[in-house]
Amino acid sequence: MWRTLPVVLLVGCATKGDLPKQPDAPVTPIVQEVGKVQDKADGRVSAAVAVASENAEKPAVVRAELGVASSYLPAPSEGDLAFARQRAAKADQKDYKAAEEYGKKLLAKINTDWSKMEKDQAEAKRVSDLKDAKIKELTQEIVRVKKDASNNIWSLTGAGLVVVGGLACAFASIRIGIPILLTGAFAAAVPFIIDSPYFEYIAGVTLVAVCGLGIYWLFDKVRDSVKNDVPPSPSE
């Protein structure tokens, strides 16, 4: 069927790298909806014109059906209206034949262009999905690289502390070197601890333990302070 509604084509932007070029077609379902509505209107117009032709001997029916058909169409321009009136005044069958041939060619071109637009739209949708998948892949890759960089920092920190702890054990004191070695081992293990599914539980238990130790230390300090402030008994 022929289309009379204008369709706005969205031009895809050129892409870089291995992303495919966006075709010159819309990527929105509204085009399909417009096509369905226009097909329905075209069918109603064709039916009204056909019924008017079938009832040529009934002027009232012809006028009514043509009125229905015109309600689905835009108002003609003054130029087109004058051209049609001139053709009707001449009533030359050659003019009518030429007008019919032109209409058929125009209809064929519109249908061809519309079919191409629908194919372009489908291709644009496919390319858009490819771009979305590529963006998702690149985003995941960025997250992975950041995570690897963070893990490397912890690993290098742990390795450095282990070296420092070893030197401290060799040239200073074991009491100094052992804590540094343990700290280095813990720093190197941080990425594995964070990635563990039990990290939240470990962190929670550790936090509770630290809070408990802090409270016990504060309680012990207050108790010792109270004992030191108590005056000796007279019997002593």
Do 70 and 41 form a contact (C-beta atoms < 8 A)?
no
**What is the value of pTM for the model shown?**
0.46
Tell me which DSSP letter residue 28 carries.
S
pLDDT for 228 equals 65
Cα-based torsion angle of the residue sequence 80, 64, 48, 110 in order, rounded to the nearest 10 degrees: 20
Residue 62 CA to residue 52 CA, distance in Å, equals: 4
Chain center to CA of 29: 15
Cα-based torsion angle of the residue sequence 219, 220, 225, 228 in order, rounded to the nearest 10 degrees: 140
Please compute the mean of the pLDDT values over residues 152-175 and round it to a whole number: 82
Measured CA to CA in angstroms, residue 115 lies from 3, 111, 125 at distances of 11, 6, 15
Model confidence band, residue 233 (pLDDT cutoffs 50, 70, 90):
low
Model confidence band, residue 130 (pLDDT cutoffs 50, 70, 90):
confident
Do 63 and 94 form a contact (C-beta atoms < 8 A)?
no
Tell me the backbone φ, ψ of residue 80, rounded to 5 degrees.
-65, -40
Model confidence band, residue 105 (pLDDT cutoffs 50, 70, 90):
very high
For the cut 80, the answer to whether the pLDDT of residue 59 exceeds it is yes
Helices (H) and strands (E) in the chain, counts: 6, 0
Residue 213 CA to residue 199 CA, distance in Å, equals: 21
Share of the chain above pLDDT 90, in %: 4
Range with the poorest average pLDDT among 23-37, 77-91, 109-123, 204-218: 23-37
For the cut 80, the answer to whether the pLDDT of residue 50 exceeds it is yes
Helix/strand/coil (H, E, C) string of 85-149?
HHHHHHCCHHHHHHHHHHHHHHHHHHHHHHHHHHHHHHHHHHHHHHHHHHHHHHHHHHHHHHHHH
Average pLDDT value over all residues in the chain = 78
Please compute the mean of the pLDDT values over residues 196-209 and round it to a whole number: 76
Angle among Cα 74, 33, 4 to the nearest 5 degrees reads: 25
Q: Which tokens hold the place of 207?
A: 């936090």
